[in-house]
Chain A
Amino acid sequence: MEKSASKQPPPTTTAEKYRNNFLREVEDNVEEGEWVKMCIQCGVCSGSCPLGSAWEHPPQELFMMIRAGQREQVLRSDSMWMCTSCYNCIVRCPRQLPITHIMHGLANYAHRLGIAPAQNPTRRFAKIFWDNIAHSGRVNELLLSIKLYFMNGFGEGIRMAYHMAGMGFAMFKTGRLDPFGLFMHKGIDNAKELQTMLTKAREIEDRRRGLGLGVAVKAD
């Protein structure tokens, strides 16, 4: 294992390796990226997206930009962070591209390279979410909400908490929120074991992608 890791090029060469060939970089590193070249630019995906108007570059456009080698414009875009995972594009695509997964893959790749838009709320929420589940094995909903409300600082957090208080109280009254859950959240019994698994899984994935070896991939 160690041997193969030492053979990996340092991360700065990732761009070198794929110089002028962003499509290949996507094919090698992005979930389901090998499908990008199959897009016929019909635009059904873009027209089917519930948040379509919020995408600076809808999926169809992203596919063309990838083929045109617009690496920075694609990876720094907040477009794919608008994906709600509704899977409408997948079931309607005439070429059966797994578009939802490609959008997730692009977002993940840009995030792991550390060049996704730092302030994008979905990116930040997704990070809080993953840390939440990776810690105890199950979602701590209250902690998740509070961390989300306070992600833009204390003052904003108080404002958000006030804004959400009515809703929170209604959830509490109907037995759908436990205020003590903040301190006494019941995760899984083998949380440590799961953490070990997730760490190992990430190491393997990073190694396969030639990531995780230097500061270049340490996001934020």
Chain B
Amino acid sequence: MAKKEYSYFPGCSSVRSASASNYMVSVNTMCEKLEIALNEIPDWNCCGASIGYAEGGELPRHVLNARNIALSGKHNPGQDIVATCAACWLGTRETQERLNEDPDMLTDTRTVLQEGNLQDYYSQNIPVRHMVEVMIEDIGYEGLAKPVVKPLKGIKFAGYVGCQTNRPFGIDGESFENPRYLDKMVEIVGGEAITDYEKKVTCCGGALAFSEPEKSQKQIHDIVEAAYDQGADMIVTPCPVCQMNVEVYQGQINKRYGTNFSMPVTYYSQILAVAYGSTGKEAGLKGNIIRAKALEKIANK
């Protein structure tokens, strides 16, 4: 089977030694097993994330994303753009949508892109996709099941989809209130999915975990507590911000709320990588602050 090729960028949080570096490690491993080739967009820049609007306004924010789209067109022509980070995906897709609706904004963006001779490479119709879409739509659930050699038997997962992989664009055919693809992935790799996990699409606070920690930690507390209530062994998520927020603040939440949380938070790519027979290192499990011991046990088998 010929490899499927995509033009991709990992986003700031997923580069080496950044907060989601283990996400990228596991994505690379998973893609190798699924025969997906990821061609990195040279010199890609930050998407502006969900907090860029305040100082960045509209046009500067769209220029950030348009530059990535143009660099993709220049270096990886014809290939779909794939982002692994929810915010990168959302930001890039939002820009493309807005520029398609607003001819003045498109003209202004092209004018600005001239500073890098990129104006002719910007594409209004190149698909901008999330890695999850590639997996579900291009590989398909059957295809995702094929490489499984170590089913994740006996592990109970709370599938935490979060916000930005789910809204406002979401995954085709899924509902905003109860998307099911993450549960399906869990089941495909032999795990047990808590399909009625009630905090599945609840916001973790996003960037406000930094600026409004008390309000965000209330959200995170509820997300973790619900996973415990449902008997989950671990949480699994497609978003690097969700992963970080829900994992790293559990210590502070324990102090604030007198709880005793120690709930591992993994990426979908980690559980697939382990089920596909990868080592813990290849699945980025060493990057989990709260160790996902049940996964490590299977990986080490």
Contacts and interface: CB of A to CB of B under 8 A. Distances in A.
A145 B19 CA distance: 12
A46 interface: no
Contacts of B178: none
Given A84-B205, A139-B13, A205 B60 contact: yes
B167 A127 contact: no
B1 interface: no
Contact of A201 (B51, B108, B163, B286): B108
Contact of B12 (A87, A92, A139, A175): A139
Interface in A106-162: 107-108, 111-112, 121-127, 129-131, 133-134, 137-139, 141, 145, 148
Contacts of B64: 133, 194, 198
Contacts of B55: 108, 111, 126-127, 129-131
Interface stretch (B38-46, B137-145, B257-265, B269-277): B38-46
A170 B289 CA distance: 6
B191 interface: no
B67 interface: yes
B111 A84 contact: no
B163 A204 contact: no
A110 B206 CA distance: 22
B54 A108 contact: yes
A138 B12 contact: yes
B36 interface: no
Interface residues of B, number: 64
Nearest to A172: B17
Contacts, number: 208
Interface string B103-134: 00000110111011000000000000000000
A175 B286 contact: yes
B155 interface: no
B201 to A, nearest CB: 8
Contact of B202 (A50, A125, A198, A201): A50
B154 interface: no
Nearest to B291: A174
From A31, A50, A166, residue with most partner B Cβ within 10 Å: A50
A181 B56 CA distance: 24
A75 B260 CA distance: 42
A104 B116 CA distance: 28
Contacts of B45: 133, 137-138, 188, 194
Given A51-B212, A122-B212, A175-B286, A84 B203 contact: yes
Contact of A108 (B16, B44, B53): B53
B231 interface: no
A84 B59 contact: no
B206 A84 contact: yes
A205 B57 contact: yes
B287 interface: yes
B215 A181 contact: no
Contact of B59 (A130, A173, A201): A201
A170 B52 contact: no
A188 B60 contact: no
A130 B19 contact: no
B266 interface: no
A117 B9 CA distance: 36
A197 B19 contact: no
B252 interface: yes
A86 interface: yes
Given A87-B163, A127-B55, A139-B12, A176 B49 contact: no
B208 A138 contact: no
Interface in A78-118: 82, 84-88, 90-92, 100, 104-105, 107-108, 111-112
Contact of A86 (B20, B108, B163): B163
A77 to B, nearest CB: 14
Interface of B: 12-13, 15-22, 43-46, 48-60, 62-64, 67, 108-109, 111-113, 115-116, 163-164, 167-168, 170, 176, 202-203, 205-208, 210-212, 215-216, 219, 248-249, 251-252, 286-289
Given A200-B111, A201-B59, 18 more contacts: A91-B176, A108-B54, A122-B211, A125-B207, A126-B55, A130-B54, A133-B45, A170-B289, A171-B289, A174-B22, A175-B21, A181-B17, A186-B15, A194-B67, A197-B116, A201-B63, A202-B59, A205-B57
6 contacts: A31-B57, A85-B50, A85-B206, A129-B51, A196-B115, A204-B112
Interface of A: 31, 50-51, 54, 82, 84-88, 90-92, 100, 104-105, 107-108, 111-112, 121-127, 129-131, 133-134, 137-139, 141, 145, 148, 166-167, 170-171, 173-178, 181, 186, 188-190, 193-194, 196-198, 200-202, 204-205
